[in-house]
Amino acid sequence: MPRAAVSCVFAAAARARGSGSLRSARRARASLASSSSSSSSSNEAPPVDPYLEQKKHRLSWMHWLHDIPKHRAWAASWQRDVQDRLRATETVRLGVDCFIAEDAHIFAEPGRDVVVGDRCKIASHVYVHGPVVLGNDVSINARCHFESGAGGVVVGDDARIGPGVHVYAFDHVFDDADVPVKDQGVRSVGVVVGADVWIGANACVDGVVVGDHAVVGAGAVVTRDVDAYAIVAGNPARKIGDRRTRAAERRAAAAGEEKRDRDRKEEEEEEEEARA
């Protein structure tokens, strides 16, 4: 409580005693207690959230929680600090409303910039070495690895990169069997991942173009370009479907299964009738 306020309260109490007013003295003492309590409360540090570190840990691995307003609110100052430190130490440009896990490993230098669009999310233990350009609304899940070589990596808007995906934009040269691989250098042609692409967990993409709207199955090893809307899987990856016809194919398969069930039921009914 400020010294002047204390003095005023004591003066009021003295006047009350001088006038013989017990009621005024009691009011003065109550005023002093109230002022002291109010001053003490205003000087106290804000309460510490005992779960804050765990909440950060959870959000770093489950970045989609950042889309929930209540999580985005408490994470705002933390994310501002994380992203400011990243901008200060690496040649990184970040769009608005991004989420970057504190333990993501992002490395960029002049000429090998990392450019991240709006509303992108980069989860825990992701490794990114520029040059890399991410469009808007791209999510990179935990433990992904982007090594961009000289050719760089470009990822289109709305792409989803599953956990553990490895993207390599360069290869070692090993054409001469008489020369150690380490002495033959590298070549880099870059990687382009189109818009609205989903790359499943633990896939490997090496020096290719993945067309818009394509889907790469989990664990696939992609060494050739992937057509737009194609669904690929396997090692090496091969085309197993097309997103544009997938819904019709699934409906046809379901209709076929229903017909088989009806035919089987009719056969069973006919056998029952025959036995009767």
Q: What does the pLDDT look like over 181-191, one tens digit per residue?
A: 999 999 888 99
Token look-up 């961009």 returns 148
CATH 3.90.1300.10, applies to 56-248:
no
Q: Which residues pair with 205 in a beta bridge?
A: 167, 222
Q: What is the pLDDT of residues 101-114, one digit of tens each?
A: 999 999 999 999 99
Average pLDDT over residues 175-203: 95
Give catalytic residues, as residue numbers: 172
**Mean pLDDT, all residues of the chain:** 86
Three-class DSSP labels, the chain: CCHHHHHHHHHHHHHHHHHCCHHHHHHHHHHHHHHHHHHHHHHCCCCCCCCHHHHHHHHHHCHHHHHCHHHHHHHHHHHHHHHHHHHHHCCEEECCCCEECCCCEEECECCECEEECCCCEECCCCEEECCEEECCCCEECCCCEEECCCCCEEECCCCEECCCCEEECEEECCCCCCCCHHHCCEEECCEEECCCCEECCCCEEECCEECCCCEECCCCEECCCECCCEEEECCCCEEEEEHHHHHHHHHHHHHHHHHHHHHHHHHHHHHHHHHC
pTM exceeds 0.85 for this model: no
Residue 110 has a CB neighbour count (10 Å cut-off) of 7
pLDDT at 30: 59
Dihedral sign of CA atoms 233, 237, 241, 244 in order: positive
pLDDT higher than 50, residue 5: no
Contacts 24+ apart (CB under 8 A), 170-177: 170/207, 171/206, 171/207
Q: Which residues contact 52 (CB under 8 A, 6 or more apart)?
A: 74
Q: Tell which residue, 134, 147, 220, 144, has the closest CA to residue 186.
A: 147
Q: How far apart (Å, rounded) are the C-alpha atoms in residues 64 and 27?
A: 56
CB-based contacts of 219: which residues, under 8 Å, 6+ apart? Answer: 200, 201, 202, 203, 233, 235
Q: Which of 96-100, 169-173, 209-213, 255-259 has the lowest mean pLDDT?
A: 255-259
Q: What is the pLDDT of residue 99?
A: 98
